């Protein structure tokens, strides 16, 4: 509209936005220089203290200028995520330049491919041993310094067995399987050299390894695989040491129970007389987020989830007890026991303790972001 009275203000806003773009370009180019320095000196791309101090300082400065502190924190966190991704472009310093050859078994798969890429970006020679390569296994594994197993869970133990004739004492044998006790025991059985079990607590679609967690279960000769953990830290991830059985116990809840209930919810919804498009059109931000979390499971690998859920009897026992909790919860309503529901609700509230408030705050941010994406 030619005579729109908002035009002059809009023009100024456009101008400010353009300046913001120029400032962001400048910031990204400074970050690129930081990336280069970190690469030269082998510094981790994620520096938690620097990040916390910087956010705190900018919040104070923003407030003193009448800009909401949460706004600047949101903007900066998004900008920093971009920065971590672009810091990768320079590659990473190798923590052990003596390592000549890393073999990733399953290196053409999703997670194996991701790790093979990170190793290459760190200057290591990487070779993949995938399912059609076994006739050349001799050549592929000859002289390897580290062998990293990253194959479907149901094949992992057999493949570790199959590796045995090719392993030599100096090799580090590691795996990236989502379950840890059995693969670790199998690696220790077939190999007399260094062994370590790793579980990246993320999928292959991450944009950066900064702030991600890798669970680490010690096997044998930690001093020989120290460089591998140091390398993962340089990529920005946090290495969390844990006993393999404890890890698997935690995964009953973090993975098996969660994947199962998400699957059951999706299955149930798909059998209901509802249209997804209509639910989405009417959804609140939290429902949209919930649907997104459920829907994303079904965009992934069914076999991986089947194996994670079926990993051990404990998983099924806990899942069965979920059925029990479901029946108990339903009974409050079937029996019109409003008071019973409220009292159970209070107990759970108490169990969550301070986390309840913290989660309310954290989820508010997520919901706001989900809402921002709405068109
Ligand atoms: P994927 O199916 O993408 O990759 C598996 C790879 O193994 C494929 O390239 C396949 O060809 C190869 N393979 C199959 N049989 C083989 C054989 N006999 N010899 C050599 N290679 C063989 O699966 P993925 O998602 O990358 O998962 C692999 C491992 O990573 C699993 O142990 C899984 O638990 C673990 N993991 C996956 C994720 C994830 O989100 N995808 C996250 C953490 C851990």
Distances 85 to 27, 29, 46, 210, 321 between C-alpha atoms, Å: 14, 13, 11, 8, 41
Per this entry, what is the length of the chain? 375
Share of the chain above pLDDT 90, in %: 85
CA atoms within 13 A on the CB side of 42: 11
130 lines ligand 1 (CB under 6 A): yes
Rg (CA), the chain: 25
d(CA 230, CA 210): 14
State residue 36's pLDDT score. Answer: 87
* Ligand 1 atom with least separation from CA of 158: 18
> Are 112 and 105 within 8 A, CB to CB?
yes
301 lines ligand 1 (CB under 6 A): yes
Residue of minimum CA distance from atom 8 in ligand 1: 109
* Ligand 1 atom with least separation from CA of 179: 34
204 lines ligand 1 (CB under 6 A): yes
> How close is the Cα of 355 to the center of ligand 1, in Å?
35
State residue 2's pLDDT score. Answer: 67
Q: Which residues of 130-145 are buried (b: 16+ CB within 10 A; e: fewer)?
A: eeebeeebeebbeebb
State residue 341's pLDDT score. Answer: 98
Residue of minimum CA distance from atom 22 in ligand 1: 131
pLDDT averaged per 10 residues in sequence order, the chain, 375 residues: 86 97 94 88 88 96 96 93 80 94 98 97 97 98 98 97 98 98 98 98 93 97 98 96 98 97 98 95 90 95 96 96 96 98 98 96 87 77
154 lines ligand 1 (CB under 6 A): no
Q: Which residues pair with 175 in a beta bridge?
A: 149, 197
């Amino acid at each position: 509209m030619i005579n729109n009275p908002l035009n002059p203000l809009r023009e100024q806003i456009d101008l400010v936005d353009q300046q913001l773009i120029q400032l962001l370009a400048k910031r990204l180019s400074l970050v690129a220089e930081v990336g280069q320095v970190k690469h030269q000196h082998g510094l981790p791309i994620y520096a938690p203290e620097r990040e916390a101090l910087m956010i705190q300082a900018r919040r104070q400065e923003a407030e003193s200028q009448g800009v909401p502190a949460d706004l600047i924190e949101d903007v900066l966190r998004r900008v920093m995520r971009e920065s971590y991704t672009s810091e990768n472009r320079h590659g990473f310093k190798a923590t052990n330049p003596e390592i000549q050859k890393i073999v990733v078994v399953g290196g053409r798969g999703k997670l194996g491919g991701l790790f093979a890429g990170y190793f290459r970006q760190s200057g290591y020679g990487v070779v993949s041993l995938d399912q059609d390569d076994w006739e050349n296994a001799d050549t592929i594994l000859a002289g390897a310094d580290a062998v990293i197993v990253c194959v479907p869970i149901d094949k992992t133990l057999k493949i570790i067995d199959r590796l045995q004739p090719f392993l030599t004492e100096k090799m580090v044998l590691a795996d990236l399987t989502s379950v840890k006790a059995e693969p670790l025991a199998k690696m220790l059985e077939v190999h007399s050299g260094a062994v370590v079990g790793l579980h990246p607590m993320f999928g292959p679609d991450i944009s950066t390894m900064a702030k991600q967690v890798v669970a680490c279960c010690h096997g044998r000769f930690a001093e020989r695989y120290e460089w591998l953990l140091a390398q993962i830290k340089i990529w920005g991830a946090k290495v969390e040491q844990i006993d393999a059985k404890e890890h698997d116990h935690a995964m009953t809840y973090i993975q098996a129970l969660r994947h199962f209930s998400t699957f059951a919810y999706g299955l149930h919804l798909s059998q209901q007389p509802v249209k997804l498009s209509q639910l989405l059109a009417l959804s609140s931000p939290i429902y949209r987020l919930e649907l997104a979390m459920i829907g994303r499971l079904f965009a992934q690998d069914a076999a991986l989830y089947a194996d994670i859920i079926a990993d051990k009897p404990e998983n099924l026992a806990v899942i069965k007890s979920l059925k029990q909790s479901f029946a108990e919860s339903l009974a409050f309503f079937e029996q019109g026991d409003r008071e019973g529901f409220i009292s159970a609700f209070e107990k759970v509230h108490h169990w969550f303790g301070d986390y309840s408030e913290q989660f309310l705050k954290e989820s508010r941010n997520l919901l706001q972001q989900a809402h921002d994406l709405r068109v």
